Homo-oligomer: A and B are copies of this chain.
Amino acid sequence: MAAVSTFLFENKGNIVDIDQHVDQEDGVFFMRVEWEVEGFALRRGELKPALAPLMERFAMQWELHFSDVVPRAALFVTRDNHCFYDLLSRHESGELGMDIPLIVSNREDLRAVAERFGIPFHHFPISQTTKPSQEEAEIDLLRAHGIDLVILARYMQILSVRMTDAFPHRIINIHHSFLPAFPGARPYHSAHRRGVKLVGATSHYVTEDLDEGPIIAQGVTPVSHSDSVQDFIRKGRALEQSVLSRAVWLHLNRRTLVHANRTVVFG
């Protein structure tokens, strides 16, 4: 920290935002610092070489991002439209600061929505036998378009390790329960059967193990005995939207760090 802050100070870095975290247990130090390029002593191209020896000296893992480089996200959808529309609306209002070059779906249902927004819609029907080849094709497509982030906006297919390995900590999912409660399929049905008094939603990075990846954001909303499963689903919608869009915003603004299957979130 001393080294980084001295480096910034000496180069006239006007710090806009700074966050740190000390994980006492694991002895790891986390830091996120955002400063203005204007007035900074080093030019873009000079930054990485200037920082490298510093980072090396303290054996730090590090990334450098420029906020005017717009990340490129692909949305994966199936049939439910609420998270899809919510992301498109936030995209349109400029809140998320990303490009959406393409949409992927295992069904045709939401093609019309994608077309309304003028975003190319790619249909990859998936069966047990076609899954490997279709996922390969998807990965090729994502790479061809320079995709930085995959957002599963209620995408109803389990990704294989092929896909999760191709985009480590760059695939964000929304699961419609308060994980680790009710993992897997039909969580609202399970929640209803159990008679819970709150339903939840969890946004997490997708890893090899389904619903086990690092959690980015969670939320809950109250339910009661008078709510049917349909009511759970309806009440859950607003929650899923808000939890997913928060997670996406945090990721795009480089406010998430992953360590030991947990996230550090500089909210």
Please list the residues of chain A having a beta carbon within 8 angstroms of any beta carbon in chain B. 1-3, 5-6, 8-10, 15-22, 24, 29, 80-82, 84-86, 88-90, 92-93, 95, 116-117, 178-182, 194-198, 200, 214-220, 222, 224-226, 228, 234, 237-239, 241-242, 245-246, 249, 261-265, 267
Q: How far is the CA of A214 from the CA of B196 in the complex (A)?
A: 9
Which chain B residues lie closer than 8 Å to A1 at the CB level?
A: 5, 9, 15, 18
* Pair B234/A242 contact, Cβ less than 8 Å: no
Copies of this polypeptide in the complex: 4
* Pair A265/B224 contact, Cβ less than 8 Å: yes
* Pair B245/A238 contact, Cβ less than 8 Å: yes
Q: How far is the CA of A263 from the CA of B219 in the complex (A)?
A: 23
| Prevailing SS type, chain A contact patch | mixed
Partner of A242, one of B179, B218, B242: B242
Which chain B residues lie closer than 8 Å to A20 at the CB level?
A: 18-20
* Pair B237/A215 contact, Cβ less than 8 Å: no
Which chain B residues lie closer than 8 Å to A117 at the CB level?
A: 116
* Pair A9/B18 contact, Cβ less than 8 Å: no
Q: How far is the CA of A82 from the CA of B218 in the complex (A)?
A: 21
Given contacts A20-B19, A238-B238, A264-B225, contact A198 B181 (CB under 8 A): no
Considering the complex, give the chain B residue whose CB is closest to the CB of A30.
B225
Q: How far is the CA of A246 from the CA of B221 in the complex (A)?
A: 12
* Pair A237/B95 contact, Cβ less than 8 Å: yes
* Pair A246/B238 contact, Cβ less than 8 Å: yes
Residue pairs across A and B with Cβ atoms less than 8 A apart, 7 shown, are: A1-B15, A86-B241, A116-B117, A196-B215, A196-B218, A197-B216, A198-B220
* Pair B22/A15 contact, Cβ less than 8 Å: yes
* Pair A89/B85 contact, Cβ less than 8 Å: yes
